[in-house]
Structure formats: C-alpha cells, structure tokens
Amino acid sequence: MSSLVEDILHWSQCNLMNINWSKTKDLVLGSDLAKNFCRELCVVGNIVERVSAFKLLGVTIDDTLKWKAHVNSIILC
C-alpha cells in the first residue's frame, strides 16, 4: 500500500472519520495507455471501484478533466 493511502487511513482513524468504501471511487487521470496498466485499488480488504466520471459536490468530474460531462448532466436534468 502506498504511503499516501496509509497516511489517509491513519488520519481518518485518528479523527474518528470512517471511510465509506461504497462511496469511495478510483479515477485514473491521463492517457488510455496508463489506464490499461493501472491495477485495481484494494485498501484494507476493500476493492475501490474504478470510474471514468463521478459527481462531487454537484460537479461532474471525468478522467479528461473537461467540462463536457458536467454540462451534459446539467442539460439533461
């Protein structure tokens, strides 16, 4: 497990903030080649779902960091 993930887990435990694994997502940014070689993320026995886009605080963020997915989600509402 990477040091960054360990730091996040340690911080969340120390501050009594449990991580909701069903809401935790893995979004890989970068080229398609990099996405194909990334392994799935497993933390403390929980496999983190990999997504190409997700909504955070009302803003849709996708793996290209473009506004198209967000604008389309607003238009379709």
pLDDT at 2 over 60: yes
Q: Give the residue extent of every domain in the chain.
A: 3-75
Quick: pLDDT tens for 5-63: 889 999 999 999 999 999 999 888 877 766 677 788 888 899 999 898 999 999 999 98
- The closest of 34, 42, 37 to 64, measured between CA atoms, is 34
To the question of pTM greater than 0.85 for the whole model, the response is no
Residue 64 backbone class (left: φ over 0; alpha: ψ -120 to 50; beta: rest) = alpha
Amino acid 59 reads V
If one compares 2 and 15, the residue with the highest pLDDT of the two is 15
Q: Return the H-helix or E-strand segment holding 74.
A: helix 68-75
Give the model's pLDDT for residue 3: 84
Are the C-beta atoms of residues 52 and 62 closer than 8 Å to each other? yes
